Every structure is written in C-alpha cells, then in structure tokens.
A and B are shown apart, each in its own frame.
Chain A
Amino acid sequence: MADLTSNFLGIHSPNPFWLASAPPTDKAYNVYRAFEAGWGGVVWKTLGEDPAPVNVCSRYSCHKNTRGDVIGINNIELITDRPLQINLNEIRQTKKDWPDRALLVSLMVPCKEESWKTILRQVEETGCDGVELNFGCPHGMPERGMGSAVGQVPEYIEMVTHWCKQHCNLPVVVKLTPNITNIVIAAEAAQAGGADAVSLINTINSITGINLDQMVGYHAVNDQFTSGGYCGTAVKPIALNMVGQIARSPDTADLPISAIGGISTWRDAAEFMALGAGTVQVCTAAMLNGFKIVQDMIDGLSRWMDSKGYPSLDSFQGAAVPSLTDWKYLDLNYKTIASIDQNSCIQCGRCYAACEDTAHQAIAMTPDNNATQRRFDVIDEACVGCNLCQITCPVENCISMIRQQTGKPYLNWTQHPNNPIRES
C-alpha cells in the first residue's frame, strides 16, 4: 500500500487532502465531521478582527452544464462572521482532540503591522500548525482594503508576509489570488517576504448568469447583485496552469505549494501534485458531495500510486514539471494524425461537422448525406493533428491521434528558418 502521509513544511497529516479555508471549515462542528470522515487537514475559515463582518442572505449561485451538473459555484460569503474568541477557543480544542491532523488558520486583517502582530499572537497560542494569509478573497473584503486588494499588489504581499514571519514562529502560507495577470510575480513577492509556502488559487471574479425575467444577476440579493468568487471543477485548468507556472519558474521552483482549484477526484489531486503541489485543498467537491468524498479520493490515489509503483507522495510530486515549457521549445517536427476506429464509431458525424466547418476539411463522410449507414474517414494528407475531432467524439477511444514517423529531428521555433530572430 502506498504511503499517503504528508509532510508539508513540517506539518504532518495522514493524507494530503485538506479542506480549504471556506464555509465548510467555519466552526468546530464541521471540522470534527470532516476529520471523522478522514480529511488529512483543514485550513480554518479566515479569522479577522472583531467586530466580525456581517453576511448577506443568498450567498451562492452556480454554473451548470447542459446535463444539469454543477461545474462551478460562485460565492459572496465573507470571512468568518463569528467573534474571534469563539473561533480561537474552538481551534485550540480541535487541535487537542485531533492531534494527528493538520490544522492551519487562515487570517485576514487590515494592512497594519499592529493588526497582524496582535492576531498572530492570539492564533499561535491555540497550538495550530500554521497560518495561511488570505490575500485572495475577491468579494467584499477588497472594498475594505483586504483580501485580493493585497494579493493584487506584489509590494503589499511582500510587506505583510514579512510582518507575519517577524511576529510568528509558525509556518506561513500565502494564499494567492488568480485575479491578476502573472501569478509568478505574486509568488515571488511572497517568497521575498519570507513565505514558507504559497497556496493557490483563491476564487476567480465571476458572475454566473443573469435572470432574464428579473434583469438581475445570480445570485440576487433582493433586487441587486455583486460579483463573487468562482470555484469548482470549471476553474481546475486555470489553477493547474498557475501552479505549474510557479513550479517551473526558476525563481520559485523551490517554493512549496498547497494547490487549490476544482479538485474533486483523486485524479485531480494527483495531477496537481505531478505539477509540484505538496498538498491539495478542497472545498467545492465537499460542498456538493459531503465530507465522505475524501474516502474515495484517498482510495483512488492510493491504488493509482500502487499501480504505478509510487511508494510515497514525494515519489511523483513534480514529475510533470520538467515537461512544461514555453511554446517556442515545442517540437515542430512532431506529427500526429487522427484515426477513426470504424468498429466503435457510432456515425454521429460530430467529428465531420467540426473538421468540415471549423478546421481543416480532413474528414470524409460517405455517402455525403444522412443515410443510416455511413462512414467517416480521415483524409491523412489534410489532417494537421489538431485533436478537435477527438474532442468532439462522444465515444471513448474511437478517435486516436496516431504518431507519424517523419524521420525529421527535433526542431523548435527558435531554430526554425521562418523565425526572423532564430538563434542559429
């Protein structure tokens, strides 16, 4: 059996699945249930200064696919709306009752050194394992100069991180906002401030839809709405990219990462780890399925690791990072063409429509009409290997992209004759 125990910044947990700082980790009752279900750790929902903020009714909305599955949730809930002391007491008791689990505390206070100093001292006394600085929350708090208002200014990230490292002995994780242009700059700022790790991504600014009868967006609070933070499986590709960019950047390559963003299966978790993450944080999948989902994640990850011969998490952590590169280094002589397995083809013609209308006219339909029995064939000479037909095909493994032996050596854009500024 693979060893799923995790050691992240010296914080030990029985598995790398943590619950992200979010509504599911707002109070001891939920956190106890999470630990009972098997979660390896939690990041307690963000604490702030008293008096606690006040939340509105109607806090979530969602984006569904055509089958009605939720692919993303938008939320406008603020940081904890409970008094600081209640949270601190519960955190202390929780850590005492669950010593083997990771318990980090998320923090967000005004950009004043004194504010951070005060709360860090209070939090440190609870016996928790570390702090996560919430520089990412995109709704509500930035209007008050906190959350992503800090995370969007690298100088602030560095400054506040620096204060925290000065006034606290615990590991400091900086949670980054994706609502910026280049995540690496934010990660570099955290690193410069002395951060022990970064966690990302926080939620993405979003509006999930407009109610066309009421002419107000979702989720409406009475007759108004505001943009919220988007999360769930829909954001996974964005999160993966940001994690990957930090992991492959020479300056931040050694910065530990706790990955967040649409992780809902063991496979998602393994992918983030393969791109360099040390632990993963989950929220939406738990909100949609309940805490029990972690058991399937643990089981799936463990079996996959066994099947691949990975004894521990660090044996595959970062394994996909070296293959992530700039476009200019991709091999221009690499060639694939599509191949349709006639036995599994159901003759829907989706590949044909895609290629004929929007790509390279590389699929032939015979006969050229809506006969009950027809055939779709790839025109090899016209196929550029774009993968679009494979993407539109509803049948798994029906369309394969077959590698072609061109006999030509590796050639990238920096070397290509068409490049006016080629290197050689």
Chain B
Amino acid sequence: MNKPDIHSSRLSAEEYQRNFADIKPALSDYEAHIEASRCLYCEAAPCIPACPTGINIPAFINRIATDNIDGAAQAILDANILGGSCARVCPTEILCEQACVRNHEPECSPVKIGRLQRYAVDNRQPGEHPFIRLPETGKAIAVVGAGPAGLTCAHHLARKGHNITLFDAREKPGGLNEYGIASYKLVDSYARQEVDFVMEIGGIYPEYGLQLGHNLSLDQLRKQFDAVFLGIGLGGSRPLGLQGEEAQGVEDALPAISSLRQCNDLSQLPIGRRIVVIGGGNTAIDIACQCKRLGAEDVTIVYRRGSEQMSATDHEQAFARDNGIRILTWLQPSSLVIEGGYITAVQLEKTALDANGKLQGKGELTSLPVDTLYKAIGQHFLVDSFANTYESPELNGNRIVTDDNFRTSLVNVWAGGDCIDKGKDLTVHAVEHGKRAAYAIHHYLQGGSDNG
C-alpha cells in the first residue's frame, strides 16, 4: 500500500517566511506619489461604478497626489469601511482597474488603484476614528455574522446612533477575511486590526461563539431587537458525491485555509507531497498555492470545464501557474482510490460539452496519485441555520431571497453577503450589501417604508 506522504517541517524557517510574506507589498511614499500622478482624473470616471462600493477613486488618488492622505482615506472609508482589506483582496483587475481608461492606451497599464487604496488607508493618521457616531437613538439591531457584510452593516448603523449586537458563530470576528483568504493576501493579522478599527465607532457589542440554528434563534432575535441583519455566509462545503469521500486525506478547502490562517507556526502544519485540488474558483487557487508554499511538491488543480469558465480570474490563474501549479481542465473526478482508509489516488474522467451545451463525461479515464485531495467546488448555505425558528425567510436554491433593499421575506429581517441569492462571493460585494441594508434598516427604524 502507498503510505500517504504527509508531514510537517518541509521547509526552512526562511522559506516559510518568504512564502507567506505579503504578495503585494505596500507602496512607498515615493511610489504612491508617482502612481497617483498617473491618474488622469477622468470626467465621470468609469472606475467609480466599476467599484461595487462606488468609491470616488479619482478623488482619493488626487488627494494622495496632493499630500492629503487622511482625506484620501476618508473618501475610501466613507464608501467602504473595509477599504483596507478590499484593497488587498479585491480582484481589481476585473473591477476598478479593468475600467481604468489607461487600459485603452497602447501600454495597457491601468493605474494601480488597489495598491493606492491600501496606501491611503494604511497611512491614515492613527488615533481618531474618521466617523462620528450620531446621538443614541435607543434602537437595537442584531447583526448576525461578523464577516464583511455584517461588520459593514453594523458600522453604518452605529454611525446613525443605533446600538448593535454583533453575533458570530466563531470565536473571532472577521468572517472570510479572518478565516477564508490566503494568508499572503492579508498578512500581519490585518483582518483583526481592521475589525478593531470598525469597532472604534462605538455602539457595537460583540457576542461570539453563538451560531444561528444552534444556540441562537431568529425568532428570538426578532423579538428582542428592532431589526435583524443576517450576514451569515455559506457555512457548508459542497461534496463531490463520490464514494470514499469520508476517507482520510479528502478535505474541504475552506477549513484547511482557515487552519492555515489560524496557525502560529506553519512548520507544524502537516502537508501532503502530492496535492489535487478539485474546483475552479479563487478558493481552489488559494488552497493550491498555499499547499505549494508549504512545501508540497506536486500540486494540480482539476476543473471540469475550460479555463475561461473558471471563476478564478485570469490574474489568479496566472498567479497559480507562477507558483508552479498545474491546472488541468475538462476533467472531473470519477472515483477516489482508498487504501487502508486513506486516499491514494483520484480517477479523472475527460469531459466535453454535448450538442446541447451540457457537460458530459466522455468515459476516458486517467489517474493522479494523491496524498491530500481538497474539495473547492463551492460552499452552500447551512439550511439548519433556521432549524430552531418558527418563521424562516424565504429561500431560493438554498440562499436567502432579498428585495432590492436587501430585505428578506420577513418584515424586520435584512440579509446580505454570500448567504443571499444575489451573493457574488467577493468581499467588496458583501460590503456593499451591508452598507445598503444598513441604509434600508435605518430608514425603516425612522418610520419610513423599506424603500430606503
């Protein structure tokens, strides 16, 4: 039997440090100045609507160029209180930077908006919180989920003078920023620092270790609070639906990323020698690259369609290839080879689209040896979140249905982020949901209709 080759301490201390350092280091003052001067200060700048949170990009860049860093940070944070982490994790190449008019030049080199945004937020004068909380309204709101959507919603509501109780199932706030993003994208416990910054506004009272459907019920919250916001994300990972999936060495990608993020000594983290990742999204890229950087020798991403259909951006795919990751397309896992309770190989079947455009297995098989196989084929909403509730919000395909103002089918419940049916799985989208839901909740609490 092939014994799985899984162990820790594959690399030297320096290698761990180098492999998990910031992949996009901060700009120096000089670099930021030069980059800021490249902004053309467009009229009705196309980058603004390309940002899901609508940051006034030319304004903040011009403020950097004119030595007004606090003003730049304010412009960013006013639209996106998590502007610091979005600057680090946003796929800017398909958002603001894709809309930059400098792409139309022969040089095709957009202004580095993301890195300038990080520069502004990081170099803000520390001390005073940039926003002032209005006088207390006496209204209380439950925000469930301390991820990007919940944190943003809580901050905007706190600014209006409401009191927020912020619940999270985990022991730490931050959601995917804390648990689900590759660590070289958010180094130095930035996610935690950012949560602390958000909390500075005041009026936000955290309650961690409470999970909806278990030790927290929506019915109760609705009785106790004037309004409820659900930003509970997608708690479950999709299964492959193959036999042997419970074997040792078959793992969900997200918990693996999470334990990597929470690990204080990477050399103690066991890692396989031969890794196969199933999936085509950013999570697949993140787990594959991190395995490689932990010392795995042979890392392969397997995706059942072509690279154009992968939800990981071109930039992310190129990053994976630069990390020495092999990306195999038009292949799907057909069976897992289990020996002595361990996965040792995965059988892959070639796929193609049939005449109707439907994906079909073609029966041609190939096999890859595996020490660890990671499943990154998407997350799903945990329906048992409403197991202890009499009245649940309407779901659509296991996600919460919301209207244009992020209100659910329940009159005093709003929702946003990945858990809703419009969820687009980017941090920056979750931020925008949280912000707009907060506007709507505030409007509702003021006695207006929900069309806030």
Contact = CB atoms under 8 A, between A and B. Distances in A.
Nearest to B105: A346
Contacts of B45: 349, 370
A350 B34 contact: no
Q: Interface centre among A67, A348, A350, by most B CB within 10 Å?
A: A348
Nearest to B41: A350
A233 B105 CA distance: 27
Contacts of B34: 67-68
Given A66-B65, A67-B34, A68-B33, A348 B48 contact: no
Interface in A61-96: 66-68
Interface in B29-64: 30, 33-34, 37, 40-46, 48-50
B101 interface: yes
B44 A369 contact: yes
B223 interface: no
Interface string B354-388: 00000000000000000000000000000000000
B42 A350 contact: yes
Nearest to A66: B37
Contacts of B30: 68
B99 interface: yes
Nearest to A357: B43
Contact of B101 (A348, A356, A365, A369): A348
B104 interface: yes
Contacts of A218: none
Contacts of B37: 66-68
B54 to A, nearest CB: 10
Given A352-B43, A394-B40, A347 B101 contact: yes
B102 interface: yes
Given A348-B40, A350-B41, A394-B40, A370 B104 contact: no
A371 interface: yes
A374 B33 CA distance: 29
A372 interface: yes
Contacts of B40: 348, 350, 394
A369 B46 CA distance: 9
Nearest to A212: B67
A395 interface: yes
Contacts of B43: 348-350, 352-353, 356, 365
Contacts of B99: 372
B105 A372 contact: no
Nearest to A347: B101
B135 to A, nearest CB: 36
Interface string B15-38: 000000000000000100110010
Interface string A322-352: 0000000000000000000000011111101
Nearest to B30: A68
Contacts of A349: 42-45
Contacts of B50: 372
A389 to B, nearest CB: 12
Interface residues of A, number: 21
B193 to A, nearest CB: 29
B333 to A, nearest CB: 39
A356 B43 CA distance: 10
Nearest to B48: A370
Counting contact residues on chain B (CB < 8 A from A), the size range is: 20 to 34
A66 B67 CA distance: 11
A60 B30 CA distance: 22
A370 B48 CA distance: 8
B49 A346 contact: no
A395 B101 CA distance: 11
Nearest to B66: A66
A33 to B, nearest CB: 30
A353 B43 CA distance: 6
Contact of B44 (A67, A68, A370): A370
Contacts of B48: 370
A394 B105 CA distance: 10
Contact of B105 (A67, A353, A395): A395
Contacts of A346: 101-105
Q: Interface centre among A349, A374, A395, by most B CB within 10 Å?
A: A349
Contacts of A348: 40, 42-43, 101
A16 to B, nearest CB: 35
Given A372-B46, A372-B50, A347 B41 contact: no
Contacts of A350: 40-43
A339 to B, nearest CB: 18
A364 B399 CA distance: 44
Contacts of A66: 37, 65
Contacts of B104: 345-347
Q: Interface centre among B44, B65, B104, by most A CB within 10 Å?
A: B44
B105 A370 contact: no
A71 B105 CA distance: 26
A141 B443 CA distance: 71
A75 to B, nearest CB: 25
A66 B41 CA distance: 13
A365 B44 CA distance: 10
Nearest to B33: A68
A230 B104 CA distance: 39
Interface in B41-100: 41-46, 48-50, 65, 99
Nearest to B65: A66
A374 B42 CA distance: 12
A346 B65 CA distance: 22
Nearest to A351: B43
Interface string A395-418: 100000000000000000000000
Contacts of A394: 40
B1 to A, nearest CB: 57
Nearest to A354: B43
Given A66-B37, A66-B65, A67-B34, A371 B105 contact: no
Nearest to A67: B37
Contacts of A67: 34, 37
Contacts of B44: 349, 365, 368-370, 374
Contacts of A370: 42, 44-46, 48-49
Contacts of A368: 44
B359 to A, nearest CB: 31
A343 to B, nearest CB: 10
B360 to A, nearest CB: 36
Interface in B293-352: none
A92 to B, nearest CB: 47
A365 B99 CA distance: 17
Interface string A347-385: 111101100100000000100111110100000000000
Contacts of A353: 43
Contacts of B101: 346-348
Interface string A108-129: 0000000000000000000000
Given A347-B46, A353-B43, 13 more contacts: A67-B37, A345-B104, A346-B101, A346-B102, A348-B42, A349-B44, A350-B41, A350-B42, A365-B43, A368-B44, A370-B44, A370-B48, A395-B105
18 contacts: A68-B30, A346-B103, A347-B104, A349-B42, A349-B43, A349-B45, A350-B40, A350-B41, A350-B43, A352-B43, A365-B43, A365-B44, A370-B44, A370-B46, A370-B48, A370-B49, A372-B99, A394-B40
Minimum-distance CB pairs A-B, first 3: A349-B43, A346-B104, A370-B44
Interface of A: 66-68, 345-350, 352-353, 356, 365, 368-372, 374, 394-395
